[in-house]
Each structure stands twice: as C-alpha cells, then as structure tokens.
Structure 1
C-alpha cells in the first residue's frame, strides 16, 4: 500500500476544511507535537513528552517551550539533549516501519554538526551500519537508511538546499523498498536507489527524537522542533507538496535566534598552577563579562574583572604565595545590571617548594566514557593529588565539540575544579582547536615543560615528528640537559615499549611485532642519556609497567621505567600471548595511578575501577624495590 491515492483525495476535498484533510489520511505509526500540552512532569527530575500517537518519551537535557499557543515549538540546547523513546528500539517495535516509511517533520537548526539527528533508530559504528535516521550535517538535511537487499552500509542522502540557522524547515524522508527520497519545503532534494528490501534494523540501539544516537555516540540537537510524524507507507511527491502547504506559514517566518538563559557549558576548572599563580577557566553558553573572586577564606575578598564579553573565560591569578590554600568562585554577566551566573566556591593550592613532599594523579585515554572517567577522577580526587597528569586521548573525537563539553569536562570537573590538569595531545584529539581553546599552556602548547616541587615534567606531542632533526627532539634535549631537578618525568601519548596484542603486529597470527611505537622510540636515547626516571604513556587501553630499560635491555636500576596508563575510559585492550623482556607488570582493566614524592623517594601505586590497589613500586635514588 502506498500514498498514491492521497493526491486524488486532496483534489476531491479541496472545498472542505484543513481539519478534515488532516484527519482523512492514513493513520501514522507515531506522531509527536512539541508543545506545552505534550510536556508532562514524570517526577521531580524526569519530564515526559506525550505522544499524540505512539510511544511517549523522556526529555533529556536542557530545553524550553517557545512561541505562542498553536505555534509552539520545543527548543533543545544541544549536547546530550533529546527525547528517549526506548533504550532498545525493540521495546517500541510496533511503532517502527518495516518495509516502507515516511517521516514528516518541521524543525530548525541552530548548531550545524557533522552527525545531526532529528529522529532515528540507527547504528553507525565502523562496519556495523544499520537502521535509519533523518537529520542534517554542517550544511544540509540528510536521510540515512539500510535495506536488507541493498548495500551493506547505510546510504546517506544529502540534500541540495542549504539550511539557514534558526529558520524552520519542512522535511520529509520516504522509502518504498526501492527508492529513498528526501524533500525540503515540499520539493525533492535528493534520492537514491542504492537500498532495497525491508529496513535492516540493528540488533540493539535506542529510538530517539532530537538527537543522533547509537550505542556509543549522542549528538543532541540544538534548535527547535515543531512536529514529527512517522508512517509505515511511502508518500508520493504530490502528498509531500500538500503536506508542506499546511506548514508553509511556519517555514516562511524569518530565522529566529533563540536566546538561552545564561548557563555554564563547562564549569570552572584549574589550569597551569605554579608557586605564585593559578589560571581559572570556564565556558558559558553566551558571551558575558567575567569576574573571578579569590582569597584565603571562602569569602573570596579579592577579585579580577574582565569586561570583554566572551564565552570561554580565562583568568590568571598572580602574586600568590607558594604551597598555600586558596578559595575561588566566578561570576558571569550578560549586562552589568543583570543577575550573575555564579559558580560554587572551590579551592586550590599553589605549587609546593622544592623540599616539600607532594603527590599527583596520572590518567589517560578517558575518551568517550564519562562514566568510567568520572569514576576514576573521583577516586583520584579522594586521594587529594596536587595535580593531574593526562597522557592524551582526552576525548573520542577532538573535532566534535560535544565530546569536550558533554564527556570530558563534566565527568572530570570534581577533580579539575580543585587541581590543575597538565595534558598532552593524543591521536583522538585530532590536533583540534578545542584542545587549544580549553587548555591554557605555555607556547606552543603541543609541547611544554613545567616544574613542581623537586621534579621537572616534559610534555611532548608524539603525533608530530619526534625524530632527531625535529623541533621537539631538539627542544627536549636542551630542556633535559639544563634540568637540575631531582626527578625527571616525560609524558607523551604513544608508548616506546608495549606488549599489546595487535597494535604493533598481530601476535595471535605472527610473532612479528615492533613491541611499541617506533617513532616514539626515537626519544629513548635522550631519556637514557639525561637520566629520565619515568615515561608516562597512553594509547594502549590497558596498564603496563616495564623494568628499567637501558640500551634495549632490562636492567635492575638506573634507567627509565615506561608506564602505560591508558585505562581512563576507552575500550579495553589485551596484552599479547608471550612476555617480552621489558614487561614487569601488565593488567587489563580501567584504572588510575598515584605518584607520591618525598625528596629522593618516590612511591607509586595503581588502582582499578573498584579503587583496589593492584600494583605498586618504590624508587629511591639509591635503591629500587618492587612490592
């Protein structure tokens, strides 16, 4: 059955009212109006979107009703916002099309993104592609679908009509078992016959509105949605044109810039602390003037004001006393007379003097798993480190803004609001601008040095060239040669030594493996020449500690120890089947580590996701003992 009869019906009923037309067609599988009548509180925290037909959903994230009655729309604020209809689409299976489908919707886009979604039941992970989604990319509307008899991947239709931010559009996507079509404002915008047969659904994936969401990604919609209707029939172009007529008054309205209430995108956190300074950063959803209050009591009697209106706020406090506890809070205003957006009062301590003991946490590869990264971050904060060292892959996709604002910073804020974070770039950061915007580091930022207590830390970008003729190699050699620190540490993402099963050669199919990153291994002679104590790495999502290694041999003492601490959240990896010469301890599992330094003594401990100790080491400048 098709919508072929609808154009004829429309002609017959031209003399009747629009209400009759609206009710005289086929019943949809589901229909949602995004207005005040449809939004019902479920509890103190949960809010429901009641369907006109089909499944109700739970509204997630920040949202607001806009417009007057009969013209209301629901505005979603992006991030991880949207409407969850079913965590597993099979729980709402009777409302999903099987062989043919039509989606009709009215929506606006305020924030273009590579993978934007308005309604979907989709899985798009590498070769695992199935389901369907109607959404948009950075410029146009899109419709993706996979059939059982078409290609073995999703076919993504991208329209030709470039949308204007903030403007409402009528979008229709259809599939009749042979042909996919995408219409924008009543006109055909794209089509494809690459797919055929019934819709090929995933084994398990969420059913959502107002988001692109699969098993490992949530890209919430930022913009308005007026209505979404889902049919199990394929509409003809004449029906689409007629459906557009009912919404033409909305699509003819000028673009509307939605003014969200001032709020935090990222709450205040600390950067690059020294003995006499600390930098505080935060981001708001609208540009505003900023004031940082601080002092030695929670009244925070001193202040620094920045009048320039910005979204990303960065204020450096100078003239502080070494190893001293301070309090701070922030205020942001759109206008001087407005009520400020205020943060909670938090604390920090300036860096210690050379002869004072201190401790720090090391975490890596927090990417795309805020539940795990938040857990290990909270455990680390409970041990009161002086700072956090992060060995890269902070996020899954560095060029995806939501991975910073929704994954990394919210999960790590309980730790980062109290202690400064010193990161290096991983490959997943993609050298994205967000990294440089959200961290305040010495130029050129992708490599730098800092001193804490009696220790020097040398931070390297192992995604760039690190060979003997490279800028980083020459800088590192000079910096190491000039260091008079008791302890010398280096941090970069890729490990010179690793027993991983397949990153450097598949050890389940051959005995050939480089046993680590050969580019990063070019730095090893510098570590041995200038007596580096520990090299911190990530990239491999497991834990590994080597014996001291010199000239490619394990020694008892007096050589660098290499540690992979990639258990901050990424999908776990496994060591190979045999034990290489450098391996001391290896462990599969999420984790974090703590390092404690008192003069010439270093204590190291590693903790799992249950906060249980699983490895420890003590190094003295005279002896080394493993427990």
Structure 2
C-alpha cells in the first residue's frame, strides 16, 4: 500500500501525528500558512532569515551553498530569492549520497513556490538525476519552454538492463514572472504533477523504489547532470520535500495557504539597452557578408561599413527587433572592410558597437586559410583562448564541427558561453557550423545562424574549395533527404577541393563512446549512422571530413573500402577539443588511426592551388600535428 499524506485520514502508520501551526514567515517562511502533517525531510525558505552570505540555512534538513548572481526580492507577502540564470544556483550536495537521509526512495512529495522569468527546454527547480546514455535515473521538479514537469526513474521503469525516465509534463502554460505552486508526487506506483492546487498530469509508467544515479549533485535552481548545466532564471520562495505521497486534498490546502501569491503581477524589470551578443559574421561571399548581433531591447538594425575606418556606407533593416541580421551586398571581392553596428529605439535608448573588420571571399586562384574547431560547449575560457590563437593566424573563415553549446535550448549557453568565448574570432571572420547533438535542434540555433537553406544542411564555396555541411543527428542513410542531396551536390561539384563536415565521426578510436574498450574488445569504432556516408566520399573524391562529438583529436590515414590507403582516399579528422570535457583513445590502435591526442586544440588549413597544408595546435599554441596534400 502506498504512503499518502492525508489531512483527513492523518498519516500512514509509522508516523506520529503532528500539527505545526506556522504563523510567522520570519520563523517558517515568507508566506504565512497553517500546515497539518508530518515534518518534511527538508524545507528551505528563501528569505533574509535563511540566507547568510553564500549559505542557505535550511528550516529542516541540510543547508545549501549559494553561488552566482542572486538577490533577495520583496513583495507584499514577504521575500524570495531571484535566480538570474548567470551561473546562479544552490547546491545542497555535490554528491547526492552525502545527503541520502533526506532523499526519498519509496514515495516522494516535493512542493515549491516558484516563478519563471526565462523559458528553457530543461529548467530545474530541485532534483538529483542523470539523463545520459544508459544512466537515466533520479528525479527532478522542473519545467520546459511552456509547462512545468516532474521527472522520475524507478526500479519498475527499467526496460531490460536499461533505465528509463518518465518526463511528466503538465498542461498549464505558465506566464513569465508569475507565482506558481508546483508539486510532484510519486507513491511507488503513480506519478502526479499539480499546478496551483489542481492535478495537471499523471502517469503510471514508473513503479517501485526510486533509483538514484551513481553520481549526481542534489541542487536547487539548476538542471544539472553530466551533460547539462541549465541555470534557473526566476524566483524561488520555498521548497519542501517529504518521503510520503500527498493526496489531492493536501495539495489543495497547501496551495490555499499561499493563494494570495498567484494574484501578484509579474515584476517590471527596468534595464538599459545593451548588447546581449556582440556583432558576429555569417555567410561571407565574394560580394556579400551577413552581420548579426542581439540587444537587450528591440530597436533598429543599422550597420555602418566601408573601406576605411570612417565607415561611410550604411545599411538599415526597417522594423524593431532584439536579434539583428543585416546583409551587406555589392562588396568587392577579396577586400578588407570596416564595420560597426548600432541599434536605437523610439525611447531614445541605443547600443553602439566598437569598430571591426572583415574581408570578402577571394577568387578561385588566390591562396587562403581557414580555422577548424569543434565542441566548444560550456567552456568560454578555453574557447576564448583558442579563438584568440586562431585569429592571430588571420584565417579567412572558420568551420565549427558542432556542439557549439552544452544545451541548445538554454539561452544563457549562447549569450554567456558560445558567443563571448568566440567573439574575438567570429566578429572578424564568418563561421560555418553544423548541428551537434547538444544543440538539440533548438530554435535558438536557427535564430542565431544565417546559413543557406535549409540551414541544418547546406553547402558553400570558398576559393577553389566546396564545403558540404551535414546534420548527422538526422537520418543520413541511403534514400534520406540529406543523402540524396549530398550525392547530387558531390556529383555536380567541379571544385578542386571537396570537404565535408558533420558532428558524428564515422571512425573513432575513443575508449568508450562506441563500446567500452577497457571492459571488452567489441566496439563500433565510430558512429555507424554517419558511416553510411563514406561510400559517397570515396566515390566522389572528398578530400577531408571534419567531425566532432569526441572531445579529443584524431586524424586517420586515407580510408577507402574499409581499409587504410596510402593516398587517394578521404581522411577523417576529429577536432572536438574546443572546450568540452576531454576524452581519451582506447588501448588498441585500429587500422584507420594515424594520429591521436588528448587535449584542447584548433586546426588551421592553408590552401594554395593544389597544395594543402594542415597544422594542428594545442591550447598553448604548440604545433602537434601537420599534414600536406598535393594535387597534380
């Protein structure tokens, strides 16, 4: 029989009845309420009584460590803590095992008063979970771009030897800035999600004890596992955690105690106009360049440009917007230009950039160079250093092999990680990315990129080379849209050099992504879906294929027909060292492996007619690999 909190029936055997009259927010929380029932395992109230510098003192249970940009906010009924999304969170334990005494196993009720100021695909209120590979366990109270959610994995949720999480999503669409009472309940057989006192969703997909991951933090105000770190932007007032399952009457009563909060209007935020994303470049051609940026408030889109720093020309895009995209046309081939951008609104507010330069694409008979980088993810310190080093070599453009960010649906990962990290390079040269798995095909990717249609795959030419950019997250098998498009484009290409870029590597020496080579000698040694394309590369004379996904460096021998060749076949390169957590090759050297290296890195490719020189550099700018290909 499942455990249930019930104010009419009191509580399940084993609990003595307690009636706690909580009359003062200074003692028990900023919202006054009368609570009937057992003590929770843990309760946190986010007010000036509980917050001591970087510490959250719990009313019950373990304290938490606060970090990031946080501020106490007062309203008509008390206080709450404003999480800004700027690396702001509350860590109860770096490892959930440290506080196992307050983590429910048989049944759970987690209750929170929260507001959301920014929509995110993976928003976290409180929880401890992993959602990676074969480990999909734990629980989390959270939200996505529209609704609240309750995620949980249990013993009964396993399918064979694999764990499965249930993502229980509600039906109530939240409004930004408004207060909501959100409750997740699990009784060992059924999951329920309540929003503002009403049942919003339920599921019986899980059963039995709650399973916890081998390693995971217990956090508030962040969705955090091995591959995600999504910070909450909004307020949290209080959170309570029980190892019993609440019924509908109890949830409704809890909501009634704080019902006055839901009528509070969303607070107004007064901000000055500023750059959220500084200017960057997209899709440069012989006679054109796209300039993009984002401001904190809508306004005009204006680019001043010219062949001197005076920027005597001006391009205006009518209308008012936050994400700005201005296409400059009619430019001279292979010519240096200066540019700066500005945005103004009707209130007279404005944002004005510094001056930058760019150079249009060169003719087919001119030498050129470009940079290759991948998997920058949530590490702007590393990506900024690599971008600075790459820019010092004055590339004509840059290619990015995917996983630009850690979480594509998290706006902060774009505005605080990717663009600030890459700014020194991409404000001066256009960059051409492909989608990685961490972009999650997010609308933000398409909002911030301006590439040839349909954008998730495309081709472009520069000098005497043609580049084919593929989304290996989608179907790339024979008969698929991308496969047919790629074969047609390759068959019609008359460029001297042919390059392909997609995120997942057809060949990889990695230790455990395609089979744990420290436990078995069985491994796919690369992504088998992406490997469906290698026949096209061999048939149509592709020279180099750049990939990411694996956070290390690898260059293969020329490979054709499933064997290493001396020459005349595609070479595959993994350039996944742009910032993500580093990975290691396995103990065995497969047939295709030529050069592997552990470490962050970038690659420079120099082309002069039929001569290609490739040089790979470490984070301290030391040359560690080079390759020369000569075509007759």
TM-score by length of 1: 0.78
Q: 1:262 to 1:225 in 2, by over 3 A?
A: farther
Residue 420 of structure 1 deviates from its aligned partner by 1.0
> Deviations along 1:293-351, whole A, 9 cap, x unmatched?
33455565543333312232111223444444444333333x33332134444333333
Partner of 2:575: 565
| Pairs within 5 Å for 1:84-99 | 84-86=90-92, 88-89=94-95, 93=99, 96-98=102-104
Q: Deviations over 1:539-573 (max 9, x none)?
A: 55543334445777755555554433344336636
Q: Aligned residue for 1:307?
A: 318
For residues 106 and 456 of structure 1, what CA distance do their matches in structure 2 show? 54
Give distance in 2, aligned partners of 1:158 and 1:503. Answer: 29
CA contact (8 A) 1:83 1:210 kept: yes
Alignment correspondent of 1:184: 195
Q: Which moved more, 1:497-506 or 1:412-421?
A: 497-506
Does residue 318 (structure 1) correspond to residue 329 (structure 2)? The answer is yes
1:408 partner SS: helix
- Measure the CA separation in 1 of the matches of 2:603 and 2:350: 38
2:224 to 206, 213, 226: 213
Deviations 1:426-457 (A, max 9, x none): 56556554443322223344454444345444
Measured after TM superposition, the shift of residue 585 of structure 1 is: 2.9
Partner of 2:294: 283
Structure 1 residues 261-298: Cα deviation after superposition (integer angstroms, max 9, x where no partner) = 54544332111223443211123454332222334555
Q: Tell me which residue corresponds to 1:108.
A: 115
Rounded Cα–Cα distance in structure 2 between residues aligned with 1:60 and 1:399: 20
Equivalent position to 1:136, from 139, 143, 147: 143
Q: 1:594 Cα shift?
A: 1.1
The reply on whether 1:293 has 2:293 as its aligned counterpart is no
- Decide which moves more: 89-98 or 157-166: 89-98
Alpha-carbon RMSD: 4.6
1:45 aligned residue: none
1:285–1:66 distance in 2 versus 1, CA, 3 Å: farther
Aligned equivalents of 1:506, 1:413: Cα separation in 2: 37
Residue 490 (structure 2) aligned to one of 476, 498, 511:
476
Which residue in 2 is equivalent to 1:625? none
Kept in 1: contact 2:83–2:89 (CA 8 A): no
Kindly indicate whether the alpha-carbon contact (under 8 Å) linking 1:130 and 1:146 is maintained by their aligned counterparts in 2.
Answer: yes
| Equivalent in the alignment of 1:491 | 501
Which sits farther off after the overlay, 609-618 or 321-330? 321-330
Q: Is the 8 A contact 2:35 2:254 kept in 1?
A: no
1:523 match: secondary structure:
helix
Change (3 A) 1:562 1:252: closer
* Residue range with higher mean Cα deviation, 449-458 or 243-252: 449-458
Q: 1:380 aligns with which of 379, 382, 390?
A: 390
Report the CA distance between 1:590 and its aligned residue. 4.0
- Aligned equivalent of 1:58: 66
Q: Secondary structure at the match of 1:337?
A: coil
Q: Is residue 125 of structure 2 the alignment partner of residue 118 of structure 1? A: yes
Which has the higher mean CA deviation after the structures are superposed, 570-579 or 378-387?
570-579
Distance of 2:570 and 2:446 partners within structure 1: 30
For residue 226 of structure 1, report the CA deviation from its aligned partner. 3.3
> What is the distance in 2 between the residues matched to 1:498 and 1:32?
47
Number of aligned positions between the proteins: 602
Corresponding residue number in structure 1 for 2:14: none
Cα-to-partner distance string for 1:69-113 (whole Å, 9 max, x where unaligned): 5455555455x5542234604597399445676543222335454
**Contact 2:332-2:360 within 8 A present in 1 as well:** yes
Aligned counterpart, 2:13 = none
For structure 2, the 5+ residue unaligned runs are 11-16
Aligned residue number for residue 83 of structure 1: 89
Among 548, 572, 591, the alignment partner of 2:601 is: 591
- How far apart, in 2, do the equivalents of 1:235 and 1:76 lie? 28
Runs (5+) with no aligned partner, structure 1: 43-47, 623-627
Cα-to-partner distance string for 1:587-607 (whole Å, 9 max, x where unaligned): 454432111234544321112
Distance 1:595 1:30, change over 3 A: same
* Residue pair 2:374, 2:400 contacting (<8 A) in 1 also: yes
CA contact (8 A) 1:467 1:473 kept: no
Distance 1:95-1:107 versus aligned 2 partners, 3 A rule: farther
